[in-house]
Structure 1
Amino acid sequence: MEQTPTTVRTDFTRLDQLKAWGVHAFTASAVIWAGCAVLALMRRDYLQMWGWLAISLIVDGLDGTLARHCRVKEVVPWFDGSALDLIVDYLTWTFIPAIFMSQTLVFAPGTPGKGMDLLVTEVLMVAVCASSMFCYCNKKAKSSDNYFVGFPAAWNIVILYLYLMALPWWFNLAIVLLFIVLTLSPLTFCHPFRVEKLRWLNIVSVVIWLACIVWLTVYFPERNPLIWWGSWISGIYFIGNGVVRTFVGPQAMRKKSS
Structure 2
Amino acid sequence: MKETSSADKSQFTRADHLKAWAVHAFTGSAVIWACCAMLALMRQEYLQMWGWLAISLIVDGLDGTFARRYRVKEVVPWFDGSSLDLIVDYLTWTFIPAIFMSQNLSFAPGVPGKGIDLIVTAVLMVAVCASSMFCYCNKKAKSSDNYFVGFPAAWNIVILYLYLVDMSWWFNLTIVVLFIVLTLSPLTFCHPFRVERLRWLNILSVVVWLFCIIWLTIYFPERNPIVWWLWWISGVYFIGNGVVRTFIGPQAAKRRAQKSR
Distance 2:104 2:39 in 1: 16
Provide Cα deviations, 1:175-218, integer angstroms capped at 9, x if missing partner. Answer: 00000000000000000000000000000000000000110000
Superposed displacement of residue 247, structure 1: 0.4
Corresponding residue for residue 230 of structure 2 = 230
> Is 1:31 paired with 2:31?
yes
The correspondence of residues 83-232 of structure 1 with structure 2, limited to 5 A, is 83-232=83-232
Distance 1:212 1:241 in 2: 19
Distance 1:6 1:255 in 2: 45
Distance 1:69 1:6 in 2: 26
Name the amino acid aligned to 1:245.
R
Distance 2:103 2:165 in 1: 16
Q: In structure 1, the residue corresponding to 2:44 is in which secondary structure?
A: coil
Figure out how many residues of one structure are paired with residues of the other and give that number.
255
Runs (4+) of structure 1 exceeding 4 A deviation are: 4-8
Superposed displacement of residue 122, structure 1: 0.9
Distance 1:173 1:183 in 2: 16
Using the size of structure 1 for normalisation, the TM-score is 0.97
Name the amino acid aligned to 1:253.
A
Distance 1:170 1:251 in 2: 34
The correspondence of residues 52-63 of structure 1 with structure 2, limited to 5 A, is 52-63=52-63
Superposed displacement of residue 7, structure 1: 5.1
Corresponding residue for residue 9 of structure 2 = 10
Name the CA shift for 1:135/1:7 in 2 (closer, same or farther; >3 Å). farther
Aligned Cα root-mean-square deviation (Å): 1.3
Provide Cα deviations, 1:57-78, integer angstroms capped at 9, x if missing partner. Answer: 0000000000000000000000
Name the amino acid aligned to 2:9.
T
Distance 1:152 1:199 in 2: 19
Distance 1:194 1:123 in 2: 34
> Is 1:255 paired with 2:255?
yes
Using the size of structure 2 for normalisation, the TM-score is 0.96
Superposed displacement of residue 255, structure 1: 2.4
Superposed displacement of residue 254, structure 1: 2.2
Distance 2:254 2:3 in 1: 32
Distance 1:254 1:213 in 2: 37
Q: In structure 2, the residue corresponding to 1:102 is in which secondary structure?
A: helix
Superposed displacement of residue 257, structure 1: 3.3
Corresponding residue for residue 79 of structure 2 = 79
- Structure 2, unmatched stretches of 5+, are none
Provide Cα deviations, 1:33-70, integer angstroms capped at 9, x if missing partner. Answer: 00000000000100000000000000000000000000
Name the amino acid aligned to 2:186.
P
Provide Cα deviations, 1:3-46, integer angstroms capped at 9, x if missing partner. Answer: x9995521200000000000000000000000000000000100
Provide Cα deviations, 1:95-125, integer angstroms capped at 9, x if missing partner. Answer: 0000000000000001111111111111111
Name the CA shift for 1:7/1:158 in 2 (closer, same or farther; >3 Å). farther
- Structure 1, unmatched stretches of 5+, are none
Superposed displacement of residue 251, structure 1: 1.2
Q: In structure 2, the residue corresponding to 1:10 is in which secondary structure?
A: helix
Name the CA shift for 1:76/1:95 in 2 (closer, same or farther; >3 Å). same
> Is 1:66 paired with 2:66?
yes
Superposed displacement of residue 253, structure 1: 1.2
